[in-house]
Amino acid sequence: MDNGNIDQNRVQEKISLYLDNALDPVQRQEFLHQIQSDPFLNQAVEKEKHFRLVIKNNLDRPKLEPDFIQYIKNKIH
């Protein structure tokens, strides 16, 4: 992998930490400034946000039958 790819991976990791609220306050503030001043970085952050929304909104969530809660309660008592 060349240096450009390594840099891109690092940027992607930083974006993940930012979106996961895993940067400390100082790092977060610095990264926010970078996002505001770099349109490409801003676009990459938006793309990552969008990707996560696609995952969250489209993942199959099978519904439980309405009586399942009562079934559990009956098992407990």
| Residue with Cβ nearer other proteins (12 or 27) | 12
> In whole angstroms, what separates CA 56 from the centre of its chain?
9
Q: What are phi and psi of 67, to 5 degrees?
A: -90, 5
* Shortest separation between residue 18's beta carbon and other proteins, angstroms: 12
Reference 18, options 51, 45, 40; nearest CA is 45
* Shortest separation between residue 67's beta carbon and other proteins, angstroms: 12
State the residues that interact with other proteins by CB under 8 A.
1, 5, 8-9, 12-13, 16-17, 20-22, 44, 46-47, 50-52, 54-56, 58-62, 64, 68-69, 71-72, 75-76
* Shortest separation between residue 41's beta carbon and other proteins, angstroms: 11
d(CA 21, CA 38): 20
